[in-house]
Structure 1
Amino acid sequence: MTPITEVEGRRLALSNLDKVLYPATGTTKGEVLHYYAATVAGALLAHLYDRPVSFLRYPDGPDGQRFFTKNPPPGTPGWVRTAAVPRHEGEHARQVLVQDLASLVWAANLVVEFHTPQWRADAPGMADRLVFDLDPGAPASVVECCVVALWLRERLAADGLLAYGKTSGSKGLHLLVPLEPTPSGQVSAYAKGLAVEAAGALPELVVHRMTRALRPGKVFVDFSQNAAAKTTATPYTLRARTEPTVSAPVTWGEIEGCRAPGELVFLAGDMTARLERYGDLLAPLINPNQARPLPVDH
């Protein structure tokens, strides 16, 4: 029998709660739902709010089939908010907005990673943040990503911009910068310029081109997620990895002190203590007072 639960007045049918989604840790679907609903809901909802969500679904766990969808999944309840999002040549399509706890639990029941663009639904293509995805090519790891992140932090600071870090939940690191709303194309151009600069300053460590042959032992500074059509893993989302890793906010102290890859791996079970200790380390991203203008003269 499918259990029915009520969340903020909405009745939700939750399925397969005993199903093991992460065999490496024995983490069940019920535990995943508890993580989203009870552990990170407050912080996660603040980062999802008013941002069209793309879902990476992995209903049978990370080893099963995965599919990425921007469209509202079949059976989306009528009360789940959606927004019209520009797609191609003036066409619009609808995407889900996860605005409240009931919508979050409904989405989590589908077993998803949450991915969001750098802009809000009321201003498509006007980025209010800049992102760098620092992606290590083996044998490089997140340790090398941290070195690159520190260089980028200083370079951004020279332009009056404040950077904040989170793990990708995979192998790398994401740097995020709160911005006054700026056309995505301009943000992309600025981010590309900094990636090229980083490759010039740290040639042994950084590549700025996607070419896989260039990447072993180096960190790819991926600026492409600033494009209006692209998305990034939302802070606090679980990832479809062997263990329930989280795209977890980290302190600059942790980035500076990182000496081994395992030091920046955080699982669902780590997040209660981290939120109690630090609060939401990425709260500045959603505080308009922290937003800064993109430099004009880059």
Structure 2
Amino acid sequence: MTPITEVEGRRLALSNLDKVLYPATGTTKGEVLHYYAATAAVALLTHLRDRPVSFLRYPDGPDGQRFFTKNPPPGTPSWVRTTPVPRSEDKSARQVVVQDLASLMWAANLVVEFHTPQWRTDAPGTADRMVFDLDPGAPATVVECCAVAVWLRERLAADGLAAYAKTSGSKGLHLLVPLEPAPADRVSAYAKGLAVEAEQELPELVVHRMTRALRPGKVFVDFSQNAASKTTAAPYTLRARPEPTVSAPVTWPEIEECRTPEELTFLAGDMGGRLERYGDLLGPLVDPDRARPLPVAR
């Protein structure tokens, strides 16, 4: 039988709780659901709320089939909120919005990564934050990403902007910047300008184009996730990796002092202690008082 549990007055069928999803650590689906329940009230829901969610589903674990979906999955309960999202000039579709713990646990039971755009449901295509995805090309690692992150932090600060960091949960880093609402195309143009500037200033370390041949040993500064149609792994989401890695907020001292990739690899089991120690390091992203205007692109 599938166990039925009640979350905030909603009845949920949680299936296959003993199923091992991460063979490298023996982590079960039940442990995945516990992780999401434990982090939700403290941090995760803050960063999902009022944003349409896309799901990367991996119901048989990271080694099984994976598929990315923006549409509400079949069987989505009527009480899970959805919102219209523009897909083209004259078309829209609906996407899930995870507003509460019950919706989060329903989604987590599908075994998902959570991905969101840089805008909120009340203003599609108007970004309230900017993202840089720092992606290392082997043999470069997150250590090289840290050096690029520090350069970007200083460059952003020169324009009056504050940057906050998290691991991607994979190989790299994400830098996030709270903004006063601005059109996504303007944010993209500004971010591209900084990526180009980073390559000019750090030519041995940075590349701003996605071309694979350019990337070995360098950090790709991906600005493209600022486009209105793009999404980024949400803070605190688990990733479909061999181990239950988390897209985990990190401090700037951790970035400045990083010497090995292992120092910036965090698993689900690490997050309770980090939240207790630091709170939500990305809290400024949802604080309107921290938002700053986007500079005019140079």
Would the TM-score normalized by the shorter structure come out above 0.5?
Answer: yes
Q: What does residue 161 of structure 2 align with?
A: 161
**Partner residue, 1:271:** 271
SS at match of 1:87: strand
| Contact 1:146/1:255 (8 A) holds in 2 | yes
Please give the TM-score of this superposition, normalised by the length of structure 2: 0.99
**Is residue 2:208 matched to residue 1:199?**
no
Supply the distance in 1 between the matched residues of 2:14 and 2:211 (Cα, whole angstroms): 43
In structure 1, stretches of 5+ residues that fail to align are none
| 2:1 is the alignment partner of 1:14 | no
AA partner of residue 196 (structure 1): V
Identity %: 85
Partners of 2:297 and 2:68 lie apart in 1 by 38
After superposition, the C-alpha distances for 1:241-264 in whole angstroms (9 at most, x for unaligned) are 000000000000000000001000
User: Which sections of structure 2, spanning at least 5 residues, go unmatched?
Assistant: none
Q: 1:257 aligned to 2:282?
A: no
Matched residue of 2:88: which SS? Answer: coil
Amino acid at match of 1:170: S
Partner in structure 2 of residue 2 of structure 1: 2
Aligned-partner SS, 1:150: helix
Deviations 1:119-170, CA, capped at 9 Å, x for gaps: 0000000000000000000000000000000000000000000000000000
2:166, 2:175 within 8 Å by CA — same for their partners in 1? yes
Cα deviation, 1:166-214, whole Å, max 9, x if unaligned, reads 0000000000000000000000000000000000000000000000000
Q: Which residue of 2 aligns with 1:50?
A: 50
1:62-117 deviations in Å (ceiling 9; x for gaps): 00000000000000000000000000122010000000000000000000000000
Counterpart position of 2:92 = 92
Q: Aligned AA for 1:29?
A: K
Q: 2:38 & 2:156 partners in 1: Cα distance?
A: 35
Alignment root-mean-square deviation, CA:
0.6
User: Equivalent residue of 2:255, what SS?
Assistant: helix
Aligned AA (1:262):
E
Q: Is the 8 A contact 1:40 1:271 kept in 2?
A: no
Matches within 5 A, 1:223-242: 223-242=223-242
Distance 1:199 1:39 in 2: 37
Aligned length: 298
Deviation at 1:42, TM superposition (A): 2.8
Query: Which stretches of structure 1, 4 residues or longer, exceed 4 Å deviation after superposition?
Result: none
Q: Distance in 2 between matches of 1:175 and 1:210?
A: 18
Does the residue aligned with 1:187 lie in a helix, a strand or coil? Answer: helix
SS in 1 for 2:270: helix
Structure 1 residue 297: Cα displacement:
5.3
- Supply the AA of the counterpart residue of 1:65: Q
